[in-house]
Amino acid sequence: MTIDDIIEFVGGLDGVLTLRPGPGDGSPEISWGDVFFYHAPDGTLPSAAQPFATIVTKDYPGEVSSRLDRPDAFRVNVAAGREEFVRWTGRTPQDPAGDGDPGAADEVMAHPVYAFAGWLAVVDPGRRTDEALRELLRHAHRLACARHERRRGR
């Protein structure tokens, strides 16, 4: 899977707003090249919601364990929620991390920083994780839709 494949897939889900920060748009330079997916049926960036998935293309300060400094490396991050987190990792988000390699390619794993919040991650998704990642992204989208509806009082 390429970054463009993921953007096309997630962008095809109902009510998704895709943000791709870059020079001149007022975003911090550190975010340039990354991608943020929000559930925003009206096309407006939600003021009280976080993205339900992101794609990061570089190591961030304090988080270099995914080794995204390699050519063409990227990580897809998914707000999968507690149930999916447990299903994929065998532990709760609050349990200490295992001995896995956060830079391993094409594996569904706990997010190296936001695991406590039920986030999963895949570095350089490929054949092994293609279907799983698509299902996780659909699931995170459904969770974001439900949160949006709750905020609207429905």
Question: 35 has which bridge partners?
Answer: 55
- In this structure, the strands spanning 53-56 and 75-79 are antiparallel
β-sheet bridge partners, residue 55: 35, 76
3-state secondary structure of 56: strand
With contact defined as beta carbons under 8 Å apart, do 85 and 120 qualify? yes
pLDDT in tens, the chain (154 residues): 999 999 999 999 999 999 999 999 999 999 999 999 999 999 999 888 899 999 999 999 988 999 999 999 999 999 999 999 999 999 999 998 776 899 999 999 999 999 999 999 999 999 999 999 999 999 999 999 999 888 877 6
pTM for this prediction: 0.94
